[in-house]
Amino acid sequence: MKLFLTLAITAVSAVSLFASSIPRTDVNAHGKVELDPAAVEGGFKVAHQNWGPKNSRAYRLTAAASKAIGDKWTLCKFAFTPKTAGQVGVFVGGQWAPKPEDRGWLAVSNIKVNGKLIPNGDFSKTVDKKGKTVPVSFWLSKNTTYAAKGGVNGANAMIVNHDNRIGFGLKVEAGKTITVEYMAKSAAAPAVKAAPAPAAKAAK
């Protein structure tokens, strides 16, 4: 009986751990390129962000899955159409939740645009920045973490959530719809290294 209860509790804990692992991606043209939501078969719902300054919302989009994903690799994709040519930032993470601990984590792998892997979209090229592994051509926020061989078919992955994202720049052309896709699955929160203790001051 105790074994059964232990297994049941473990199962519930695992479900809770990944319950809010909902893929989400934001696109921001930083006030320079107006963006329109677009549809793609099987894709995320895309809309203008309804927070922040109203005069910049035409330049900002958010795309999210309708429900949480599990521990199997899942195709995530969405589309948008720029009204003019320019540069946008694409930020891959997870959905928001009122409590920070409920903002589920995801492993993200193989980022493509219009069906083609973007430069270093498999995170194969990295650099070390202050002890943190960062894929070339990408930006990381806070505790976004690199997972060697943690992606699809042995590719590398990044561990992200709402507050910890990976971003990249993308050139767009007027009127040409962009489709972004990547593979994702639920993941455990990465271990965060504790900050080193300050050195003791020498006695005077």
Q: Where along the chain do its domains lie?
A: 22-187
Contacts of 58 by beta carbon, 8 Å cutoff, 6+ apart: 34, 35, 48
CA distance 61 to 29: 9
Residue 78 near residue 180, CB atoms below 8 Å = yes
* 164-182: burial string, b at 16+ Cβ within 10 Å, e else: bbbbbebebeeeeebebbb
Distances (CA, A) of 25 to 75, 133, 164, 180: 13, 22, 12, 9
Model pTM score: 0.85
23-28 sheet: strands from edge to edge: 45-48, 60-64, 23-28, 86-94, 166-172, 139-140
Contacts of 38 by beta carbon, 8 Å cutoff, 6+ apart: 46, 79, 80, 81, 177, 178
Distances (CA, A) of 172 to 33, 78, 90: 9, 15, 12
pLDDT tens track, the chain, 204 positions:
433 333 333 333 333 444 479 999 999 999 999 999 999 999 999 999 999 999 999 999 999 999 999 999 999 999 999 999 999 999 999 999 999 999 999 999 999 999 999 999 999 999 999 899 999 999 999 999 999 999 999 999 999 999 999 999 999 999 999 999 999 999 999 986 655 555 555 444
